[in-house]
Chain A
Amino acid sequence: MNEIKLEMKNISIEFPGVKALSNVNFEMTGGTIHALIGANGAGKSTLMKVLAGANTHYTGEIYVDGKPVEIRSPKSAKDLGIEIVFQEVDTALVPYLSVSENIFLGREIKTAGLVDRTRMNKEAKRWLDMVGLNISPMTLVNKLSIGIQQMVEIAKALSTNSKILIMDEPTSALTAKEIEDLFLIINKLKKEGCGIVYISHRLEELEHIVDRVTILRDGQYINSMNFKDTSLPEIISNMVGRDIKEKFPRVTCKRGKKILEVRKLNAGRMVRNINFDLYEGEIVGIAGLMGAGRTETTRAIFGVDPKASGEIILDGKTIKIEEPMDAISQGIVLVPEDRKKDGLCTKLSIRENIALPNLDIICKKAGIINSKIEKEMANNTVSDLKIKLPNVEVNAGSLSGGNQQKVVVGKWLRRKSRVVIFDEPTRGIDVAAKVEIYNLMNNLKQQGIGVLFVSSELPEILGISDRIIVMCDGKITGELNVEEATQDIILQYATSFDKKIDDNILHK
């Protein structure tokens, strides 16, 4: 069997402001199933995108069967026999084309120069049968469920007869039966000599299928082992690392009365039966992996996304929140995750941005703006948060990331709120600015204002929170006090997906 041998050596890649991969090594051979594991931002998808030709500006060497290759375009990767099945299905398939047109996109079957749909449909049916999909190849993709779309993507990848198949979180959208079928296909491919890279957070699924494991952390290569020589706790340990570098300012407060109760909150797949409380004098951190539903939960509470069901109870009274303006008027505010998209109007001035959610305070009767109060508010915010800028009239978009974040946070601090929700408040900002944000959060806590914050950085969660809620796949899977929490425990809760597959199946 001519099995492909792949070696990636010293792969590094940088994006503006961040070094995503530093001297990462990765090796695999055909006929094995190799899991690529790491926490959020570890670099797994980035590395695989290098292999698939989607990240072209990498440095380092890649060898296929001992020969050096340059993968600078998706086509080069495909020519080498490397195919990738992306996690975001809706960006990988064209919704208004049929299944067969998607499968053969870019390599349509032609007869005498014209696209031969009959032959294409026949071929497509062959691949659909192979993945166990009983649908017509002429079905439009947007009529299929996400799970079935994922299987179509897999069928598409199979039809290319690839030598290396990369699958990024392939089972997240699948039902138990579909996962069974998928594992059967993967095993079959393995027997035929294909090498499969399997990126997943669902660590418990791995034992059913994986031969080798490579672990990345913070863009660096950590370790590779044979799966049977290691254990899940050891893998988690490797993912997490041992050092907590930064110091976190911590203040202790007495816990007061209950401010917020969230009961039976449901909002789609990402927010399922969420229940928690928030008290005065404490900071509650929400931990979890990307896709766990934390941002979606904050958005559902704040009224950005519609709720299917659930109650929000503030200071003992049930309140109705359907739009952000309802939440704000009741005293719940949100510092959003994406500051450029949701947090700032980048083309407006700092002054106008700070004023925008506070117009009810700034305006006299009949909605007329009092410029003096407005200017004062802007200047006070700038001096309180030590925001670096030439003056408050510059465009918000011209500030650095850290200062932009301070504007987004600062504009809400002008109000007397009851609950302030922070979503990734220190993402992409420098250490000094981070500490200032932590101090702000502590300040709010001391004032008896409820602080809820979502973060993907475990050290930060452990450093600042008093209580930690862990979410996984839309549900709360753990709740603990900071004294009893460690990164390992949090990560364990963060990866406790619903068990979809039975241990009895698939021991081939």
Chain B
Amino acid sequence: MDKIGKQNRIKRILAVRGMGQVITVTIGLIILCIVFSIVNPIFFSGKNIANLLRQIAPILIIGIGQSYVLITGNIDLSIGSVIGMSCMISATMMTKGVNPWAAVFVTFICCLAAGVLNGELVSRCKLPPFIATLGTMTIARGIAQIVNNNYNTGSIGEAAKGFRNFFYYGKTAGIYNAIWITIVLWIVFNFLLSRTRTGRHIYAIGSNVDAARLSGVNVHSTTIKVYVVSAICACTVGLMTCATTGMGTMDAGNGYEMYAVAASVIGGVSTLGGQGILLGTVVGASIWGVLQNGLQFAGAPVAIRNITIGIIVVVSVLLDVVVRTGKHRKKAN
């Protein structure tokens, strides 16, 4: 009886929509890890793995936010700029002597506002998400620059030690805090997406927004929710960046929105909406992190790293669109 029970459980997990792609990319990830370990055995050392995980963490977090938005059929291009804005607002306040946790609170509110703005522009004003978030991207980057009068900040000082440990340097039960934060965020957001009403609404909107609306889904409020989730994720990463570097850099997060898209799409979230699971985003972000880290240890110059990763992003999105629209055409025939 137990064996059949276990078989059924595995069957059920495999039957989850999107698992197929997740398994495929996981195999790809394993192969990559093996290859990089062979090229440079340091890759597989305990120290490097810990660092690797901390490199993956921010990409996974913003990957979660971007996945939420992508599943509704929208996109968030402002993630990178909100990271910068979050980093600069918190750092500037802390260098001016504000209590770090008060600074975190204010930063959080500002990022929430950015998320709500995105949601309203897309849902109420009916702006195409590309244009709307391109706009907030520019505004947020501008705020990041103006907050400290167009200068990067100085060190956030000793008072911020607790803050820095919390978000990056500290360890709890032997695992870096940054990784714990990522795990907690993933558990919460994955639960929300897969087991709650809001999660269903998100998939429904991405699948067919008209049918969703006629089934009673509040498209407006759900759209705002996904952009707020994305903003919260970007805010967290901005705070982590501030904690890592100990200062505020206006350039923080530049271009990160595309890494977030990459992580999502590699993991099976479709840019056309309605498809994908956050487990895939984990694998997607890991592949991104492994590539960065592995190529670095293989001695590849930064340019080569960027080109490789860029190619993989383009190919993943291309495959996603081709397979999705190809399948449609097959079914129509």
The answer to whether A352 touches B211, judged by C-beta atoms less than 8 angstroms apart, is no
User: In the complex, which residues 297-328 of chain A have their Cβ closer than 8 Å to any Cβ of chain B?
Assistant: 302, 304, 323-325, 328
B99 CB, min distance to chain A CBs, angstroms? 33
The answer, yes or no, to whether B197 is at the interface (CB within 8 Å) is: yes
Cβ-neighbour of B207 out of A323, A347, A363, A393 (below 8 A): A347
B196 CB, min distance to chain A CBs, angstroms? 5
Main secondary structure of the interface of A (DSSP, over half): helix
User: In the complex, which residues of chain B have a beta carbon less than 8 angstroms from the beta carbon of A411?
Assistant: 215
Known: A324-B214, A369-B200. A345 touches B208 (CB 8 A): yes
The answer, yes or no, to whether A1 is at the interface (CB within 8 Å) is: no
User: In the complex, which residues 196-231 of chain B have their Cβ closer than 8 Å to any Cβ of chain A?
Assistant: 196-198, 200-201, 203-204, 207-208, 210-218
Chain B binder among A286-294, A354-362, A431-439: A354-362
Look across to chain A and name the residue whose beta carbon is closest to the beta carbon of B203: A348
User: In the complex, which residues of chain B have a beta carbon less than 8 angstroms from the beta carbon of A235?
Assistant: none
The answer to whether B218 touches A325, judged by C-beta atoms less than 8 angstroms apart, is yes
User: In the complex, which residues of chain B have a beta carbon less than 8 angstroms from the beta carbon of A369?
Assistant: 195-197, 200
Distance A116 CA – B214 CA, assembled complex (angstroms): 50
A17 CB, min distance to chain B CBs, angstroms? 12
The answer, yes or no, to whether A397 is at the interface (CB within 8 Å) is: yes
Most A CB contacts (10 A, CB to CB) among B195, B207, B212, B218 go to B207
The answer to whether B213 touches A359, judged by C-beta atoms less than 8 angstroms apart, is no
Known: A324-B216, A356-B217. A398 touches B331 (CB 8 A): yes
The answer to whether A325 touches B216, judged by C-beta atoms less than 8 angstroms apart, is yes
Known: A345-B212, A356-B217. A368 touches B207 (CB 8 A): no
Chain B binder among A26-34, A336-344, A470-478: A336-344
The answer, yes or no, to whether A367 is at the interface (CB within 8 Å) is: yes
Q: Mark B185-196, 1 if CB is under 8 A from A, else 0.
A: 000000000011
The answer to whether B214 touches A342, judged by C-beta atoms less than 8 angstroms apart, is yes
The answer to whether A325 touches B217, judged by C-beta atoms less than 8 angstroms apart, is yes
B145 CB, min distance to chain A CBs, angstroms? 38
Distance A328 CA – B214 CA, assembled complex (angstroms): 9
The answer, yes or no, to whether A334 is at the interface (CB within 8 Å) is: yes
Known: A355-B200, A363-B197, A398-B331. A341 touches B210 (CB 8 A): yes
Look across to chain A and name the residue whose beta carbon is closest to the beta carbon of B15: A393
Look across to chain B and name the residue whose beta carbon is closest to the beta carbon of A370: B195
The answer, yes or no, to whether B274 is at the interface (CB within 8 Å) is: yes
Distance A346 CA – B206 CA, assembled complex (angstroms): 11
The answer, yes or no, to whether A349 is at the interface (CB within 8 Å) is: yes
The answer, yes or no, to whether B17 is at the interface (CB within 8 Å) is: yes
The answer, yes or no, to whether B275 is at the interface (CB within 8 Å) is: yes
User: In the complex, which residues of chain A have a beta carbon less than 8 angstroms from the beta carbon of B201?
Assistant: 359
A349 CB, min distance to chain B CBs, angstroms? 7
The answer to whether B216 touches A357, judged by C-beta atoms less than 8 angstroms apart, is yes
Known: A347-B275, A363-B196, A363-B197. A324 touches B215 (CB 8 A): yes
Which range holds the interface residue count of chain A?
20 to 34
Distance A457 CA – B13 CA, assembled complex (angstroms): 47
The answer to whether B204 touches A367, judged by C-beta atoms less than 8 angstroms apart, is no
User: In the complex, which residues of chain B have a beta carbon less than 8 angstroms from the beta carbon of A328?
Assistant: 215-216
The answer to whether B274 touches A368, judged by C-beta atoms less than 8 angstroms apart, is no
The answer to whether A348 touches B214, judged by C-beta atoms less than 8 angstroms apart, is no
User: In the complex, which residues of chain B have a beta carbon less than 8 angstroms from the beta carbon of A342?
Assistant: 210-211, 214
The answer to whether A348 touches B197, judged by C-beta atoms less than 8 angstroms apart, is no
The answer to whether A367 touches B207, judged by C-beta atoms less than 8 angstroms apart, is no
User: In the complex, which residues of chain B have a beta carbon less than 8 angstroms from the beta carbon of A393?
Assistant: 15
A422 CB, min distance to chain B CBs, angstroms? 13
The answer to whether B218 touches A345, judged by C-beta atoms less than 8 angstroms apart, is no
Most A CB contacts (10 A, CB to CB) among B17, B214, B275 go to B214
Which range holds the interface residue count of chain B?
20 to 34
Distance A324 CA – B196 CA, assembled complex (angstroms): 21
User: In the complex, which residues of chain A have a beta carbon less than 8 angstroms from the beta carbon of B203?
Assistant: 345, 348, 352
The answer to whether A336 touches B214, judged by C-beta atoms less than 8 angstroms apart, is yes
User: In the complex, which residues of chain B have a beta carbon less than 8 angstroms from the beta carbon of A349?
Assistant: 17
The answer to whether A368 touches B196, judged by C-beta atoms less than 8 angstroms apart, is yes
Cβ-neighbour of A367 out of B197, B211, B215 (below 8 A): B197
Distance A393 CA – B19 CA, assembled complex (angstroms): 14
Look across to chain B and name the residue whose beta carbon is closest to the beta carbon of A343: B211
User: In the complex, which residues of chain B have a beta carbon less than 8 angstroms from the beta carbon of A341?
Assistant: 208, 210-211
Distance A323 CA – B215 CA, assembled complex (angstroms): 10
B222 CB, min distance to chain A CBs, angstroms? 11
User: In the complex, which residues of chain A have a beta carbon less than 8 angstroms from the beta carbon of B218?
Assistant: 323, 325
B1 CB, min distance to chain A CBs, angstroms? 21
User: In the complex, which residues 354-413 of chain A have their Cβ closer than 8 Å to any Cβ of chain B?
Assistant: 355-357, 359-360, 363, 366-369, 393, 397-398, 411
User: In the complex, which residues of chain B have a beta carbon less than 8 angstroms from the beta carbon of A360?
Assistant: 197
Cβ-neighbour of B211 out of A345, A359, A368 (below 8 A): A345
User: In the complex, which residues of chain A have a beta carbon less than 8 angstroms from the beta carbon of B216?
Assistant: 324-325, 328-329, 356-357
User: In the complex, which residues of chain B have a beta carbon less than 8 angstroms from the beta carbon of A304?
Assistant: 213-214
Q: Mark B295-331, 1 if CB is under 8 A from A, else 0.
A: 0000000000000000000000000000000000001
User: In the complex, which residues of chain A have a beta carbon less than 8 angstroms from the beta carbon of B208?
Assistant: 341, 344-347
User: In the complex, which residues of chain B have a beta carbon less than 8 angstroms from the beta carbon of A343?
Assistant: 211, 214
User: In the complex, which residues of chain A have a beta carbon less than 8 angstroms from the beta carbon of B275?
Assistant: 347
Distance A334 CA – B210 CA, assembled complex (angstroms): 13
Known: A347-B274, A352-B203. A359 touches B212 (CB 8 A): no
The answer to whether A356 touches B274, judged by C-beta atoms less than 8 angstroms apart, is no
B100 CB, min distance to chain A CBs, angstroms? 32
The answer to whether A348 touches B210, judged by C-beta atoms less than 8 angstroms apart, is no
User: In the complex, which residues of chain A have a beta carbon less than 8 angstroms from the beta carbon of B217?
Assistant: 325, 356
Distance A352 CA – B197 CA, assembled complex (angstroms): 11
Distance A343 CA – B207 CA, assembled complex (angstroms): 12
B11 CB, min distance to chain A CBs, angstroms? 11
User: In the complex, which residues of chain B have a beta carbon less than 8 angstroms from the beta carbon of A368?
Assistant: 195-197
B274 CB, min distance to chain A CBs, angstroms? 5
Cβ-neighbour of A344 out of B197, B211, B331 (below 8 A): B211
Look across to chain B and name the residue whose beta carbon is closest to the beta carbon of A393: B15
Known: A345-B207, A352-B203. A324 touches B213 (CB 8 A): yes
The answer to whether A356 touches B204, judged by C-beta atoms less than 8 angstroms apart, is yes
User: In the complex, which residues of chain B have a beta carbon less than 8 angstroms from the beta carbon of A348?
Assistant: 203-204, 207, 274
A438 CB, min distance to chain B CBs, angstroms? 23
Look across to chain A and name the residue whose beta carbon is closest to the beta carbon of B208: A345
User: In the complex, which residues 35-57 of chain A have their Cβ closer than 8 Å to any Cβ of chain B?
Assistant: none
B72 CB, min distance to chain A CBs, angstroms? 12
Known: A348-B204, A348-B207. A356 touches B215 (CB 8 A): yes
Distance A393 CA – B204 CA, assembled complex (angstroms): 15
The answer to whether B215 touches A357, judged by C-beta atoms less than 8 angstroms apart, is yes
Pairs across A and B, CB under 8 Å, 12 listed? A304-B214, A325-B216, A342-B211, A345-B274, A349-B17, A352-B200, A356-B204, A356-B216, A367-B197, A368-B195, A368-B197, A369-B197
Q: A329-B216, A345-B207, A397-B331 are in contact. List 11 more A-B contacts (CB 8 A).
A: A304-B214, A324-B215, A328-B215, A343-B214, A345-B211, A347-B208, A348-B207, A352-B200, A356-B200, A363-B197, A368-B196
Give the 9 A-B CB pairs with smallest separation, nearest first.
A345-B207, A357-B215, A367-B197, A325-B216, A328-B216, A345-B208, A359-B197, A356-B215, A367-B196
